[in-house]
A and B are shown apart, each in its own frame.
Chain A
Amino acid sequence: QSALTQPASVSGSPGQSITISCTGTSSDVGGYNYVSWYQQHPGKAPKLMIYEVSNRPSGVPDRFSGSKSGNTASLTISGLQAEDEADYYCSSYTSSSTGVVFGGGTKLTVL
């Protein structure tokens, strides 16, 4: 069982917007602004898409945005494209022993 809760799957059509949620507790998501989001295509290493809740690394399209409210963080992808189809994982710093916890992952299907 993952420490952070994500929906198993979401889907959307090209051009639409989707949002993936990531729910934790006050010990992780709610307590720190160290929420990150990763995109992983099959057989590839994950790629950082968002860090510190809402910051995009250089090279990540501005179609990707992050936010947080209370114990829930969200990743929004606008203007969906076929290449956005992938697994998405959230993570957060946590005051528990491991330091960082991941969500269980969300499979995004572009219809």
Chain B
Amino acid sequence: QVQLVESGGGLVKPGGSLRLSCAVSGFTFSDYYVSWIRQAPGKGLEWISHISTGGYTIYYADSVKGRFTISRDNAKNSLYLQMNGLRAEDTAVYYCARVRVWAVDYWGQGALVTVSS
């Protein structure tokens, strides 16, 4: 069955860095766009980034552009999100997601990132 499992979340101080990983299984990872979507506590969903099958097409929301970097390793069936210059407003649950026809058909369980001093 399709699975996406995030790791790497945690507590970090403002200005700090964190790297999220997402290990996928149950499907041919290299055939799909994948994305990171976040949800701040008590708030709605925000699509922050996605990456194409070969990694050549990448989008970032304005809120993270220049601070976050998405990448993938198709050989390792893994998606990554390098987060630098973290701010309090980046506190959220971060979901790894499989994208098909611009819809998310499978979600990870989410990784909580808390930015606080």
Question: Which residue numbers of A lie inside 8 Å of B, CB to CB?
Answer: 2, 32, 34, 36, 38, 45-48, 51-52, 57, 89, 91-93, 97-105
Q: How far is the CB of A1 from chain B (nearest CB, A)?
A: 11
Given A45-B109, A100-B50, the answer on whether A105 and B102 have CB atoms closer than 8 Å is no
A34-B101, A93-B102 given as contacts; is B59 within 8 A of A99 (CB)? yes
Q: Which residues of B sit under 8 angstroms from A92, Cβ to Cβ?
A: 102
Interchain CA distance A86-B77 in the complex, whole Å: 32
- Whether B59 lies near A97 (C-beta < 8 A) is yes
Q: Which residues of chain A have C-beta atoms less than 8 A from B46's C-beta?
A: 102
Residues of A close to B105: CB separation below 8 A: 48, 51, 57
Interfacial residues, chain B to chain A (CB-CB below 8 A): 35, 44-48, 50, 59-62, 95, 100-105, 107-110
Secondary structure of the B contact surface, majority rule: strand
Measured between C-beta atoms, what is the minimum distance from A48 to chain B in Å?
5
Could you write out 9 A-B pairs with CB less than 8 Å apart? Answer: A45-B110, A51-B103, A89-B44, A97-B61, A98-B61, A100-B35, A100-B102, A101-B47, A104-B44
CB-CB nearest in chain B for A102: B45
Q: Is the CB of B47 within 8 A of A48?
A: no
CB of B18 to closest CB in A, whole Å = 20
Return chain B residues, CB-CB under 8 Å to A52. Answer: 101, 103
A100–B47 touching, CB < 8 Å: yes
Q: Which 4 A-B pairs have the closest CB atoms?
A: A51-B103, A36-B103, A34-B102, A45-B107
| Least CB distance, B60 to chain A, in whole angstroms | 7
Question: Given known contacts A97-B59, A99-B50, what 6 new A-B pairs fall within 8 Å (CB)?
Answer: A46-B45, A48-B105, A51-B103, A91-B102, A99-B59, A99-B102
